[in-house]
Amino acid sequence: MKVKANSFAFCGGAFGDEGKGRIVDEYVNHLTKQGKIVVYRDNGGANAGHTVTLPTGERVALHQLPSAMFSPKATVVLGKGMVIHPSDLLTEIEEVRIIAKNQKVATIMIDEMAVLSLDTHRAFEAALKMWQNGSKGSTGRGISPAYADVLLRHPLRMRDLLDFDEKKIQEHYELYAALCKGLGEELADMKVPTLAETGVQQVGSLTEFTTRLQAQATQLRSYIHDVSTMVAETWHDPDCSYVFEKAQAIGLDARWGVYPDVTASNTALDGIYSATEGIIDHHAIAVRAAVIKATYMSSVGTRVLPTMMDEALAIRIREDAHEYGATTKRPRDIAYLDLVALRYYAQVGDINYHVLTHMDISYLDTPIKVCVGYTLNGKKVDYRPDQEYLLKVKPVYKEFAPWSMKDIQAARTYDEIPEPAKIFLAFVAKQLKTKILMITTGPKRDQSIWVRD
């Protein structure tokens, strides 16, 4: 297979929120100096929160739009594997337009086959959550019901907005009204989260729901295309670079993540193959990078990681690294770096590079603890993506000398980073069996260091 030299994929290597948005934004900025670029997102929906810091210092959280929105030369694709919430997407497009002060932004193309994720899905997910004893599981953005529509053979797709078949919309609404009723809820009365300023939206009657959707369809129509021809042409064009921005992370994948608190989309790179209908084999992508936090891990949801951290240190990290959900604002759980889990995710995800963010989260008074193995009943055991199993294993830790936060934040080249950080990086790369592509040493744009030769 011919590898495309100027192709780069970034996925979450742990449990999400690793800082992918910033990496994609910086990479794209660098690549647009070289010519044409397509930025392709193939999974997830409004559950993602990718934070980008603009040259002005302004921070923008993007949810459904790829992080290259502020690169006017880029074409961003919302691919077939995504579930798209039209009203949240329009809010986001408007926000980007305001922040860009009407200057040109990236060109948006939405695959007509991408699946719709609507207020009906959010309402049903909320009703289901109450029925499941109020588990704090999902982000509440109706992601899994929208994906379930595909498996149950009744999805609504972006192309349904083009011809706006009211009968199909009515059938969809009535199905979800019945599902909610079965769980003791009245769909029309239910309030669901929205990105719009109000924060909540009442689903409303069939007429209200349809009227809203019709107005959104009118606004979105010009973005919806059959993107496969464009993808086939540009992928084989040596002058066009490709960046793939995955959402969520391999640790949240339903096949590879900590089951059952997983998301419904395909979070590993093989999702690119199915979203592009075989045009792009992910093995042909030159850089297949997983983004992880360097000195700790974070997680939101019901999963309990084997390496959960002492709360005093967790609080310190949570405040210093702003570990609160970009979509839900929930405080994130903080855990010691688990190299056993990360190695498994890299292996099942076909990863050849890692990007390590938050290298500055290191305290001179506290050694850096990383998990290098598990035992179960006194015997060494491997990773298995199953919560019940992970509750039973005991992590084996190794400690590393910390480095000064201030010194590493000031470093601008690999040579300038403190010696203990170099020792730590070499150990992590060896354990993960990949190479290190890049590290970040602080939140600012110039606080990223390329390690790849």
At its nearest, how many Å lie between ligand IMP and the CB of residue 168? 24
251: which 2 tokens? 């640790």
Binding site for ligand IMP (CB under 6 A): 16-17, 47-49, 137-139, 141, 143-144, 248, 252, 261, 263-264, 300-301
Minimum distance from residue 267 beta carbon to ligand IMP (Å): 9
Q: Provide the H-helix boundaries in 5-100.
A: 20-32, 86-99
64/248 with CB nearer ligand IMP? 248
Return the sign of the alpha-carbon dihedral for residues 174, 179, 181, 186. Answer: negative
In the bound state, the residue with its beta carbon closest to ligand IMP is 301
| Alpha-carbon gap, residue 411 to 425, rounded angstroms | 15
320 is catalytic: no
Q: How far is 422 from 427, CA to CA, in rounded Å?
A: 9
Please say which residue, 63 or 369, places its beta carbon nearer to ligand IMP. 63
Q: Which two tokens stand for residue 107?
A: 């060109």
Catalytic entry in 25, 50, 338, 354: 50
Q: Between 314 and 417, whose beta carbon lies closer to ligand IMP? A: 314
Residue 410, judged by CB atoms within 10 A of its CB (0-12, 13-18, 19+), counts as middle
In this structure, the number of other CB atoms found within 10 A of the CB of residue 102 comes to: 7
Residue 266 or 362 having the CB closest to ligand IMP: 266
Show Cβ contacts of residue 430 under 8 Å, excluding neighbours closer than 6 positions.
none
CB of 418 vs ligand IMP, minimal distance in Å: 30
Residue 200: in which H helix or E strand, if any? strand 200-202
β-bridge partners, 82: 44
Nearer to ligand IMP, 143 or 342 (CB): 143
Task: With beta carbons less than 8 A apart as the criterion, state whether 69 and 39 touch.
Answer: no
For ligand IMP, the closer CB: 80 or 121: 121
Nearest to 195 by CA among 325, 82, 63: 63
Residues 451, 434: Cα–Cα separation, whole Å: 13
358 catalytic, yes or no? no
| Residue 92 near residue 195, CB atoms below 8 Å | yes
CB 301, min distance to ligand IMP, A: 2
CA–CA separation, 147 vs 254, rounded Å?
A: 12
Question: Closest approach of Cβ 151 to ligand IMP, in Å?
Answer: 14
Measured from the CB of residue 194, what is the shortest distance to ligand IMP in angstroms?
15
Catalytic positions are 17, 50
